[in-house]
C-alpha cells in the first residue's frame, strides 16, 4: 500500500541515485524536476483524499456484502438544523454518528445531550475546524483534538474514539496526533456534497447511485433543508432492502474510550 513513509523512502532513493549520476556523469538538472513533481503530486493526493490511507489508516466503508450502511453528519451541533435532522432520524427510527466541532458545543449543550440521549454516536471533528488547521504542527493539532474531546466529554460524560479530519485532509503531523490519542479515523465512501449541491433531486441521485453494502454516508447537519433530501434517501434505502445501523456496529470498533 502506498503510504507517506514508503513514498518518502522511494523518492529519497531516487534523488540519491540522481545525485550519484550527476556526480559521475554530469546529468542535466532537469532530470530532477519530474521526480520532484511526481513526489509532490503523490503527497497532494494522499493528503486530500482521505480514502487513500496515505497518512492515516482510515475506515471509509465496512467489508460486508450485507445491505448495511451508516449515516454520518459533520460540523454541528447547529441550532434548528441539527434538531430537524434528529426529528427525521427519529421518524425513521435510525441512528447516526455526529462528528461535532468542539467550539460549537458551548451554548449548544442541550443539542449534544439530545443527540446522545436519542442513541446516536458523537465523534470528534476537531475543536477549531480552522482553515489553517492542516498547516499546524503536531503539538497544536494534538491540543486542538484534545480540547474537542474534552468538550464532548464535558457534556455527555464519554470520551470519543471516532475522529474525522477537518475537510478530510490528513498530514504527517495529524497522523502523529491521532496515533497518540488512539482515535479510529473515519472517512466515507459516499460524499453527498450537500454543502454545494442546492438541487434536492440532484443531491438524492448523487447519493443513491453510490450506495453499496457497507457504505459510510457523509452529510452535514449545518445545511438548510437537508432533511427533505435525506428523507428521500432513507426511503430509497428502505425500498431497496438496506438497513441503517450504528457506525460502531458497522465497522466493529468502540465509539468511546
Cis bond before residue 257 (omega within 30° of 0): no
Report CA 45 to chain centroid distance, whole Å.
15
Active site residue 120: no
Catalytic residue among 74, 75, 194, 221: 74
140 given a catalytic annotation: no
3-state secondary structure of 79: coil
Q: What SS3 class is residue 123?
A: strand
Region of 124 (left: φ > 0; alpha: ψ -120 to 50; beta: rest) is: beta
- CA dist 207 and 201 (Å) reads 10
Identify whether the C-beta of residue 90 lies closer than 8 Å to the C-beta of residue 118: yes
Closest C-alpha among 141, 170, 210 to residue 52 = 170
Could you give the CA distance from residue 234 to residue 240 in angstroms, rounded to a whole number? 10
User: For residue 212, how many other CB atoms are within 10 A of its CB?
Assistant: 13
Choosing from 120, 125, 129, 220, the catalytic residue is: 220
Of the candidates 72, 17, 63, 76, the residue with the CA atom closest to the CA atom of residue 190: 72
**Is residue 122 within 8 Å of residue 116, measured between CB atoms?**
yes
Cell 495529524 -> residue:
174
Catalytic site positions: 74, 220
Amino acid at each position: 500500500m502506498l503510504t507517506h513513509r514508503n513514498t518518502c523512502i522511494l523518492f529519497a532513493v531516487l534523488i540519491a541515485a540522481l545525485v550519484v549520476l550527476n556526480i559521475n556523469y554530469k546529468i542535466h538538472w532537469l532530470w530532477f524536476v519530474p521526480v520532484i513533481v511526481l513526489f509532490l503530486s503523490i503527497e497532494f493526493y494522499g493528503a486530500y483524499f482521505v480514502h487513500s490511507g496515505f497518512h492515516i489508516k482510515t475506515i471509509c466503508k465496512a467489508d460486508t456484502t450485507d445491505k448495511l450502511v451508516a449515516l454520518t453528519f459533520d460540523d454541528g451541533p447547529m441550532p434548528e438544523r441539527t434538531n430537524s435532522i434528529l426529528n427525521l432520524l427519529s421518524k425513521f427510527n435510525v441512528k447516526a454518528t455526529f462528528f461535532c466541532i468542539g467550539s460549537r458545543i458551548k451554548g449548544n449543550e442541550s443539542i449534544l445531550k439530545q443527540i446522545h440521549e436519542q442513541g446516536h454516536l458523537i465523534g470528534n471533528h476537531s475543536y477549531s475546524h480552522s482553515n489553517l488547521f492542516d498547516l499546524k504542527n503536531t503539538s497544536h493539532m494534538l491540543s486542538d483534538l484534545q480540547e474537542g474531546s474534552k468538550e464532548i466529554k464535558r457534556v455527555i460524560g464519554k470520551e470519543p474514539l471516532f475522529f474525522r479530519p477537518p475537510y478530510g485532509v490528513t498530514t504527517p503531523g495529524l497522523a502523529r496526533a491521532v496515533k497518540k490519542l488512539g482515535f479510529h479515523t473515519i472517512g466515507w465512501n459516499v460524499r453527498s456534497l450537500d454543502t454545494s449541491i442546492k438541487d434536492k433531486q440532484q443531491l438524492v441521485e448523487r447519493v443513491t447511485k453510490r450506495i453499496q453494502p457497507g457504505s459510510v454516508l457523509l452529510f452535514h447537519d449545518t445545511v438548510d433543508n437537508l432533511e427533505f433530501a435525506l428523507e428521500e434517501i432513507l426511503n430509497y434505502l428502505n425500498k431497496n432492502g438496506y438497513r441503517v445501523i450504528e457506525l460502531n456496529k458497522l465497522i466493529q470498533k468502540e465509539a468511546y474510550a
